């Protein structure tokens, strides 16, 4: 079959909407008709050459749609199911999967940087040219093929436009609060960077019954949204913001700090804002090849530091739970979406992202 997809042929050039061909499904494949796909900063990193991937490639890893077809050995997903795609499918049998660390799944970590599915192969082509997959999803397209472990069934009433967000930014932020930091009720929490991940870390802190949730960002509009998501205090980023954090936390600093901005300066601020004996969870990221420098003294004091990429996600467990909490009105997702665009407007969406405007632009797919 043929379908439309946004293809990146060369870094720092616009994506091109082209008609690709899809190969026959393999035993564990799930074909998803995509209805909504979120634009994430990680996509932009590939476009700008900061995150090297083989080209041509179809980007996108926040996808929500309906299962169109399944391979002969698929057991947990059926045609007609509404699914959120997970960018971290797993084999279930390798060294790390057996140790309950599916995010480190060996076939995944081996093959996804090569632009392949976890079996080491592509299913897309443009004429005779193979086209690569991104994060084993490639949701900026009318259809995508994912492994069975990457197609997570959610409630049929979950809207597609918010469903796609669960697959990355929402899971990463909420999961970091609930599964990684395991915030204790009454804690003081600082979130640095009020983008999609930071706003959901705020939601996770609120769900954990944190006492103070202090959001820091340089954008006043994002701080307004942070309040809606559950922040008790908002601080505009400036040279004295650390002192403001200390003033709000009786001079100690926060019990838990989430770094969600991905800059050397904010990593240092995060360390300084963490109290002795406290915990820092680094969620933001810079270019993979960059070195960072930090003040050694800020590491002292028995601080616990962890880097998390997916908020401790167990998608089969966590995606349906987040979807249900949204449907119950206990998690906010609509507020994350600034604008919906067509697939043909995808380059406009990424240009807007470059200027740091808004939280999430979502592609509303036509068929």
Whether the per-residue pLDDT at 358 is higher than 90: the answer is no
Question: What pLDDT does residue 72 have?
Answer: 95
pLDDT in tens, 4-29: 999 999 999 999 999 999 999 999 99
Q: Among residues of the chain, what percentage have pLDDT more than 90?
A: 93
pLDDT of residue 357 exceeding 90, the answer is no
Contact between 40 and 361 (Cβ < 8 Å): no
Is pLDDT of 366 > 90? Answer: no
Determine how many CB atoms are found less than 10 A away from the CB of residue 198: 31
pLDDT at 287: 74
Q: Exposure of 7 by Cβ count < 10 A (0-12 exposed, 13-18 middle, 19+ buried)?
A: buried
* Inter-residue contact 367 to 1 (CB < 8 Å): no
Residue 85 has pLDDT above 80, yes or no: yes
Q: What is the pLDDT of residue 286?
A: 80
pLDDT in the model for residue 356: 79
- Comparing C-alpha atoms, which of 280, 253, 106 is closest to residue 176? 280
- pLDDT band, residue 135 (cuts 50/70/90): very high
Confidence of residue 330 (pLDDT cuts 50, 70, 90): very high
Q: What is the pLDDT of residue 104?
A: 95
- Average of pLDDT values for 253-279? 95
The 3-class secondary structure across 135-151, one letter per residue, is: CCCCCCECEEEEEHHHE
pLDDT (tens digit per residue) in 200-244: 999 999 999 999 999 999 999 999 999 999 999 999 999 999 999
Residue 90 has pLDDT above 90, yes or no: yes
* pLDDT value, residue 141: 98
* Nearest alpha-carbon partner for 339 in 324, 352, 328, 326: 352
What confidence score (pLDDT) does residue 276 get? 97
pLDDT tens digits, 25-83: 999 999 999 999 999 999 999 999 999 999 999 999 999 999 999 999 999 999 999 99
> Which stretch of DSSP H or E encloses residue 300?
none
Over the stretch 162-189, which tens digit does the pLDDT of each residue have? 999 999 999 999 999 999 999 999 999 9
> What is the pTM assigned to this prediction?
0.94
pLDDT at 143 over 90: yes
Instruction: Spell out the residues 6+ positions from residue 350 whose beta carbon is closer than 8 angstroms to its own.
Output: 15, 39, 43, 44, 47
pLDDT tens-digit profile of 155-167? Answer: 999 999 999 999 9
Q: Looking at the predicted structure, is the pLDDT value of residue 256 above 80?
A: yes
Averaged over 341-367, what is the pLDDT?
A: 92
Q: What residues does 145 pair with on adjacent strands?
A: 31
| Predicted local confidence at residue 282, as pLDDT | 97
Model confidence at 285, in pLDDT bands (50, 70, 90)? confident
Residue 289 is predicted with a pLDDT of: 79
Q: What is the mean pLDDT of residues 316-324?
A: 97
CA–CA distance, 257 with 69 (Å, rounded to integer): 43
Cα(170)–Cα(26) distance, integer angstroms:
30
The predicted structure's pLDDT at residue 367: 77
pLDDT at 84 over 90: yes
* pLDDT band, very low/low/confident/very high, at 1 (cuts 50, 70, 90): confident
**Residue 299 reports pLDDT greater than 80:** yes
Helix, coil or strand: residue 127: coil
**284: which DSSP letter?**
-
At 149 the pLDDT is 96
pLDDT of residue 288 exceeding 80, the answer is no
Average of per-residue pLDDT values in the chain: 96
Distance CA 112, CA 87 (A): 9
pLDDT of amino acid 293: 87
């Amino acid at each position: 079959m043929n379908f439309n997809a946004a293809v990146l042929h060369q870094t720092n050039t616009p994506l091109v909407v082209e008609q690709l061909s899809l190969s026959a499904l393999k035993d564990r494949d799930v074909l998803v008709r995509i209805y909504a796909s979120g634009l994430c900063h990680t996509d932009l990193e590939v476009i700008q050459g900061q995150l090297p991937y083989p080209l041509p490639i179809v980007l996108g890893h926040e996808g929500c749609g309906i299962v169109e077809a399944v391979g002969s050995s698929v057991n947990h997903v059926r045609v007609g199911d509404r699914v959120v795609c997970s960018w971290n499918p797993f084999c279930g049998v390798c060294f790390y999967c057996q140790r309950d660390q599916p995010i480190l799944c060996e076939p995944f970590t081996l093959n996804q940087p090569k632009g392949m599915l976890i079996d080491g192969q592509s299913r897309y082509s443009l004429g005779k040219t193979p086209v690569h997959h991104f994060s084993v999803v490639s949701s900026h397209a009318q259809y995508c093929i994912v492994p069975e472990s990457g197609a997570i069934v959610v409630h049929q009433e979950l809207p597609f436009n918010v469903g796609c967000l669960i697959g990355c930014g929402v899971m990463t932020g909420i999961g970091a609060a609930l599964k990684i930091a395991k915030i204790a009720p009454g804690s003081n929490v600082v979130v640095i960077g009020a983008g999609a991940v930071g706003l959901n870390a705020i939601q996770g802190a609120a769900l954990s019954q944190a006492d103070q949730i202090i959001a820091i960002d340089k954008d006043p509009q994002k701080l307004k949204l942070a309040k809606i998501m559950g922040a008790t205090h908002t601080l505009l980023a400036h040279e004295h913001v650390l002192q403001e954090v200390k003033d709000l936390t009786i001079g100690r600093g926060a019990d838990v700090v989430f770094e969600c901005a991905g800059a050397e300066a904010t990593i240092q601020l995060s360390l300084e804002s963490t109290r002795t004996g406290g915990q820092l969870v680094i969620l933001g990221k810079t270019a993979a090849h960059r070195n960072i420098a930090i003040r050694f003294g800020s590491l002292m004091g028995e601080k616990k530091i962890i880097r998390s990429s997916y908020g401790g996600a167990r998608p089969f467990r966590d995606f349906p739970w987040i979807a249900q909490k949204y449907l119950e009105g206990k998690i906010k997702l609509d507020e994350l979406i600034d604008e919906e665009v067509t697939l043909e407007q995808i380059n406009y969406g990424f240009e807007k992202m470059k200027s740091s405007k808004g939280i999430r632009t979502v592609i509303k797919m036509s068929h």
